[in-house]
Amino acid sequence: MFDQKSATSEDGAEARRSGDLVSELLLGMRLYGVQYRRMQFTPPFGIAFTAAAGRAQFHFIARGPVFLRTASGNLHRLETGDAVLLPHGRAHELLSEPALGARDIATFDTLRLCETVCAVVAASDACDRSRDALIFSGCMEFDLGGMHPLVAWMPEVMRVDTLLARYPEILPMLEAMARESREERAGYAAILARLADVVSAFIVRGWAECGCGDATGWVQALRDPRLGRAIVAMHRDPGRDWTVAELAAQMGSSRSVFAERFLAVTGMTPLRYLTELRMRLAAQWIRDGRTSIEGAAYELGYGSQAAFSRAFKRVVGYTPAAARGAGQAGAH
């Protein structure tokens, strides 16, 4: 006899396990702003943002409307209170009217408000500033850690308004951002920066928890409790000298079944996945100054720095020394 209560309980347990995997892998998410701008513009205006590989761009509209034109030519109308995340770091424009041209944001005069936030004001001298657009933007380091392959599946624009029904707790943060942007109270710039980081993380997490769009392989992997155990095992101990047989044991299957299943749902072999995971972690550790190049090689299971450096450049596209230099430059 079919036991509906038991089946429901099992379904609920599997859903919790799936959510646990998403949560565990999202612990590696690295998303924080490196440069913020509070911008005030009197229409008409057009602002161009150049491409920034490996970084995301966040925009919050404290007073709109504002039009967002993406590199693909798509146009989005953003109203007061809207927030968007552009995860791929592609060029885009913010406009008061769709037909306008745009001027590079880097060419505007700025006033530093605190260590990471500056003000950009291109407003008229009129007493009535109610027509001015007010925007808070953040250029962010964006690394999903173990879920980094999902970045390629993300849409070019991720809108917070699509998440509000499911995550109503975001709304008070947006309202706080609007107040801080308009009232400019003591310490508002730093508060806005932290709120922007949190809202951006909510957008990413919401997208992941809602099914990751078209990233069907990853969704299958995360919702398959047995395969998920093998993935999480690699993330928990990336420096271990894993073999396919050991990973298959995590899944409770033969090597051939595990390897075929892993390739089918993630698009790569288990050992290639492990190598890419190690190199993403290494790049993050070296940039952040957490460890030396030699230390990263040792922690991630490489017997020599030369072998580690070759793997690093093959996966990341540049040398560990270049990653260290980028981290040192960003600290100044």
pLDDT at 243: 95
Mean pLDDT across the stretch 196-216? 75
Q: Which of 201, 40, 64 is nearest to 120 (CA)?
A: 40
pLDDT at 146: 57
Instruction: Supply the DSSP string of 188-239, one letter for each residue.
Output: HHHHHHHHHHHHHHHHHHHHHHTT-TT-HHHHHHHH-HHHHHHHHHHHH-TT
Whether the upstream peptide bond of residue 238 has omega within 30° of 0, thus cis, is no
Q: Is the per-residue pLDDT at 328 higher than 60?
A: no
pLDDT at 28: 63
pLDDT at 150: 67
When comparing pLDDT for 242 and 219, which is higher?
A: 242
- Over residues 255-295, the pLDDT tens digits come to 999 999 888 877 789 999 899 889 888 887 887 788 899 99
pLDDT at 213: 55
Place of tokens 């690699």: 234
When comparing pLDDT for 4 and 328, which is higher?
A: 328
Instruction: Calculate Rg over the CA atoms of the chain.
Output: 23
Handedness of CA 74, 76, 53, 207 (dihedral sign): negative
- Over residues 79-133, the pLDDT tens digits come to 999 999 998 889 999 999 999 999 999 999 999 998 889 999 887 666 566 789 9
* SS3 category, 314: helix
When comparing pLDDT for 223 and 288, which is higher?
A: 288
Residue 63 to residues 2, 131, 203: CA-CA distances in angstroms?
A: 56, 8, 20
Mean pLDDT across the stretch 30-34? 75
Cβ atoms of 153 and 213 closer than 8 Å: yes
Q: Is the per-residue pLDDT at 15 higher than 50?
A: no
Mean pLDDT of the chain: 82
User: What are the structural domains, with CATH classification, of the chain?
Assistant: 30-209 (2.60.120.10), 216-330 (1.10.10.60)
pLDDT at 211: 60
pLDDT at 177: 93
- Over residues 149-180, the pLDDT tens digits come to 667 778 889 999 888 888 899 999 999 999 99
Q: What is this structure's pTM? A: 0.69
pLDDT at 14: 42
Q: Is the per-residue pLDDT at 46 higher than 60?
A: yes
